[in-house]
Amino acid sequence: MKKFAVVLSGSGVFDGAEIHEATLSLLAIAQAGAAYEIFAPDIQQHHVINHITGEEMNETRNVLIESARIARGKISPLSSFDATAFDALLFPGGFGAAKNLSTLAFEGANCSVNMDVKKAIKAMLSAKKPIGALCIAPAVVARVIQGVIVTIGQDKGTAEAIEAMGATHLNSDHGEVVEDSDNLVYTTPCYMLDATILDIYNGATNVVTAIMDSLK
């Protein structure tokens, strides 16, 4: 049975992992006959957003603890990730990828990437194992893997930031997967487009299917 490591960035689209993308990615992995383990960095998240009003709240939360809500408590700190124990690595999206896994939301093409995130991506790249990323998360991968080919959909500003990082961006539509066969990176836009939950299911499923096909 193939095994995925899924990296979350909190819980909630505006300050953490996008919950539909995270949950449907886990479903897609299970439907493909594979297993998964869930990880997140053990760090404070950048800020907390009220998901009704969009306003910042005067409190602090931990990325690992918040991600555990989606994982139903079964989660490990990303610092413990061992690439030799997994066949693939997957990053759902949400602003947490741009705020907690990296500083993309604040520094654009000049962003930094969390040390454990960078280490996990580089370990899988070195081992020639596939990496999947949804929504905004491909931009994080682009910051780590020089020259990678990715998609975040059709957002001009984000695409330009990805190109400024030295990566190549290809426009895509709902459910489409851009494959970088040299780096074994598989990306799809999900909620970077005006999407429905069915679009998210299709995108997550198509990325997982592409990864599983690469492992045959």
Which of 6-39 are b and which e, b meaning 16 or more Cβ less than 10 Å from the residue's Cβ? bbbbbbbbbbbbbbbbbbbbbebbeebebebbbb
Q: Mind telling me the catalytic residues?
A: 135
Domain boundaries, the chain: 3-214
Backbone angles phi, psi at 170, to 5 degrees: -115, 130
Q: What is the pLDDT of residues 115-148, one digit of tens each?
A: 999 999 999 999 999 999 999 999 999 999 999 9
pTM of the model: 0.97
Q: What pLDDT, in 10s, does the model give residues 176-216?
A: 999 999 999 999 999 999 999 999 999 999 999 999 999 99
Determine what percent of the chain is predicted with pLDDT higher than 70.
100
pLDDT of res. 172: 98
CATH number of the structural domain 3-214: 3.40.50.880
Model pLDDT, residue 50: 97
Report pLDDT digits (tens) over 82-112: 999 999 999 999 999 999 999 999 999 999 9
* Beta strand pairing call for 178-180 and 168-169: unpaired
pLDDT, one tens digit per residue, over 67-90 is: 999 999 999 999 999 999 999 999
